[in-house]
Amino acid sequence: MRITQGCFSFLPDLTDEQVTAQVEYCLGRNWAIGIEYTDSPHPRNTYWEMWGHPMFDLKDAKGVMMELAEARKAHGDSYIRLNAFDSTRGFETVTMSFIVNRPKVEPKIELTRTDIRGRSQRYSWKVA
């Protein structure tokens, strides 16, 4: 099952050249790029593992791509995403996020229904 989190999941997987262009777009706006990875694409899994801190002082997309290559070497069969952080007052959060690596076989997410009252259900999800 193709997880469709992030900005570009409905497009064919981005090439490194395409990823570089997006990174340049972010750096051009003074957003810091952070690399994160996980094996659990649960919809509420906010905190993926950080591959180091967001790269605040980096100005060259090549640096991000080198880090990404390292992250892929270590976690090639996990999800990896790039997050861009905007520190402008009133935003101060992730401003862009897209998946740049996927496991060969993506997991399924199972829906569990629990009766609460009448026909009401409590729903939960589990990554299979």
Distance CA 6, CA 8 (A): 6
**Identified binder of another protein from the candidate list 30, 59, 77, 121, rule CB under 8 A:** 121
> What is the nearest approach in angstroms of another protein to the Cβ of residue 80?
15
Tokens found for residue 50:
């950080």
Taking residues 16 to 55 in sequence order and writing x for each that binds another protein by CB under 8 A, - otherwise, the string is --x--xx--x---------------xxxx-x---------
Helix H segments across 29-117?
A: 61-75
User: Any idea which residue has 């569990």 for tokens?
Assistant: 112
Which residues fall within 8 angstroms of residue 10, CB to CB, at 6 or more apart?
A: 4
- Give the per-residue contact string, 59-88, with another protein (x = CB under 8 A; - = no): ------------------------xx----
Q: What share of the chain is helix, strand, coil (3-state, %, to 5)?
A: 20, 35, 45
Q: Which residues bind another protein (CB under 8 A)?
A: 1, 3-5, 7-12, 14, 18, 21-22, 25, 41-44, 46, 83-84, 89-98, 109-111, 116, 119-123, 125
